[in-house]
Structure 1
């Protein structure tokens, strides 16, 4: 399989719909169950306004599509801590986007990627955990990994004890263009998303390990999903009637 299709979105929509309405019967899987890293995105549409994010979570580990879409359709809808869980009354305003991730690559610096083509995954140590170096020795180019920190040693040591893991964040390829960001603005926003609330300096940016990726994406609205589900149910009923006729 070389593309993400609407049917992947329909399957995620169906998972959420059947979860919120236990009386509903799920539609059987209709696409190859190959493995991909994936993200499921839920947006709310309201009139002519731009879609508003309602949940987005995924996995960078390759997953069987059937299980992966089932799991993250619900995780992104119900467990994204930035939002309250999606409710049944919101279904008709939703659109679902599926991103199948490909072409992962580690790049030398935080600016070595293309807007609209690459998603970014950043990882960096909290500045409080990095030993200070003399400011005169710091390189000001993006590729430099040297850091100059202004925290006094005692405060830096105290703060460092709180951070044992790197800070991480990601943005899918379509996020930066949708927000109108430059590459630098996208990186700085990712730094904030990772949980760093200090001053963002060139030293912080140079400490980033950057991994890029691309995405095959499809998006459908509730109306498109419901038309698909209605068609699938009609097919199933027609097949059942034919089976009954043959038995008679």
Structure 2
């Protein structure tokens, strides 16, 4: 029987889907990649889920600081998906430099397995703290320019968008915990997501109404470095 205590950040409902074993496996993938130690094989079922892997830096008395977060909305076999995105989020998140071996002891790993995808009826048809959001919207010039070739007053550029620019679709997502952690209401979350998608112009109600929103829920688990080390040693791994 494992001596590792239940993760206090994992609810009973979450623990039935996302478990500490998923986090330990992601941590093990990163650790063994950086140190060239032998990885331990996964022992959990190889089910398929859309997933995100998040690395945070733990700071005494402070909220953990984001160090990398990348995932995929296509259902992934967990053995392959967790291993792949453990490294992608550690090394390829363009917002941060690559995680280095010297940082391992300060890290925590969070796994989010995404469930319950639903098409929302509007950009406000979701609940803060319950749903994650995935938004898509057309180039804002198209929102008010269907009958005219004139530049849209919504555009952040003084030039008329090119046809290739007009054909671009903007997308962004926020996991369920983000709005609550940031203290955002629905409107603030939507406007932030619009900017995250790459739109730097004016945000109007017409633009918000052009959004197609897909809401989802997440089953999340988090473990820290010390918990991972104990798990690895208990399972015969060398540090």
**TM-score if structure 2 supplies the norm length?**
0.86
1:64 is displaced (CA, Å) by 0.4
Gaps of 5+ in 2: 1-14
Displacement after TM superposition at 1:7 (Å): 0.4
Cα RMSD, aligned residues only: 2.2
1:151/1:60 CA distance change after superposition, 3 Å? closer
- In the TM superposition, 1:95-244 aligns within 5 A as 95-132=108-145, 149-150=152-153, 157-233=160-236
Matched-pair contact (CA < 8 Å) for 2:154–2:202 = no
Kindly indicate whether the alpha-carbon contact (under 8 Å) linking 2:122 and 2:213 is maintained by their aligned counterparts in 1: yes
Report the 3-state secondary structure (helix = DSSP H, G, I; strand = E; otherwise coil) of the residue aligned with 1:10.
helix
Q: Which has the larger Rg? A: 1
Task: Quote how far apart the aligned CAs of 1:203 are.
Answer: 1.2
Q: 1:45·1:51 contact (CA, 8 Å) conserved in 2?
A: yes
Give, in whole Å, the separation in 2 of the partners of 1:33 and 1:73: 16
Aligned to 1:89: 102
Q: Distance in 2 between the 1:165 and 1:19 partners?
A: 37
SS of aligned partner of 2:109: strand
d(CA) in 2 for partners of 1:42 and 1:118?
21
Number of aligned residues: 220
User: Shift in Å at residue 104 of structure 1?
Assistant: 0.3
- 1:173-224 alpha-carbon deviations (Å, 9 max, x no partner): 0011011111111111111110000011111111100000001110000111
User: In structure 1, the residue corresponding to 2:161 is in which secondary structure?
Assistant: helix
Structure holding more helix per residue: 1
Equivalent position to 2:21, from 7, 23, 33: 7
Give the deviation of 1:129 after TM superposition: 3.8
